[in-house]
Amino acid sequence: MNNLKNYQTRTVGQAQIPALGLGTWQSTDDDCIEVVSQALQMGYEHIDTAQAYHNETQVGAGIKKSGVARDRFFLTTKIFPDDMRFEPDNLVKSVHDSLDKLDVEYVDLLLLHWPDARVPLSETMPALAEMQHQGLTRNIGVSNFNINLLLEAQKYSDVPIATNQVEFHPFIRQHTLQTFLYNHHIPLTAYSPLARGDVFDNDTIKAIADKHNINRAQVSLAWILSDQNRIAIPKTSTPSHLQSNLDALKVQLDKEDIEAINKLARSNGRMIEHPDYTPEWDD
């Protein structure tokens, strides 16, 4: 990918991943087309989707409608372990299906959406790496992996793991995983960075927002981005929120703000429903 103008990126291997992107989970139909188009036109350089979101066609239509050149943004999709689609014989077809729906020749990042013990990483990781060697994706990564699974994934991949995309926001404990990712130079990509809206009701976050004359979503996003090993992909379908979230890149929280938000993490902070084969979390 070339020609990025975003002044905040995260580097892993040869990848330059824009630190703030647009998440599209639960974005559907014409709303998805419009929000992707508007986001790219207003300067977003990172779009995140997945096969399991059932909106790759709409994301592709939004990309086309935006008129923004393909080399001006970073595009991520994910393969979900539905009907054993991670099997190597099926993976190439699955990736081509995503590229056809997105109407692109390649994605910048291809993730395994969930680990699935029914399909060994000894098979899926080499197959995923082969997608990079073939140029169908520029980078590969994983999502919802714990440390043990990350170590196993690294063992079977001959290319770097560009990110681990996990639920992350001020109320979730992820210290052990974050430390591992930092030590292994793997960025953490935060999905649900606004905690399904819970950041809007928290007194600590409200006080910090008032202090800096910003909104509460910007506080949460700026806190995530204050760590150079973290990426955030907030989802919104409201144009004004698109700009507001993008402006979080300009917010500088002070040390006291960050320490106050760090104290909000709790053991029951997870908010996203997970499949039955979810791994045991590290924190």
Which residues are known binding-site members for substrate? 113
CA separation, residue 236 to residues 142, 190, 200, 217, 271 (Å): 23, 15, 14, 11, 18
Of 205, 111, 115, residue with least CA distance to 161: 111
How big is the chain, counted in residues?
283
- SS3 (DSSP) at 167: strand
User: DSSP letters of 76-114?
Assistant: EEEE--GGGTTSHHHHHHHHHHHHHHHT-S-BSEEEE-S
Among residues 44, 53, 106, 191, the one annotated as catalytic is 53
Question: What is the phi/psi pair of residue 263, to 5°?
Answer: -75, -5
In DSSP terms, 76 is beta-bridged to 48, 109
Residue 182 annotated in active site: no
* 34 CB burial (10 A radius; 0-12, 13-18, 19+): middle
* Enclosing H/E stretch for 166: strand 161-167
As annotated, the active-site residues are 53
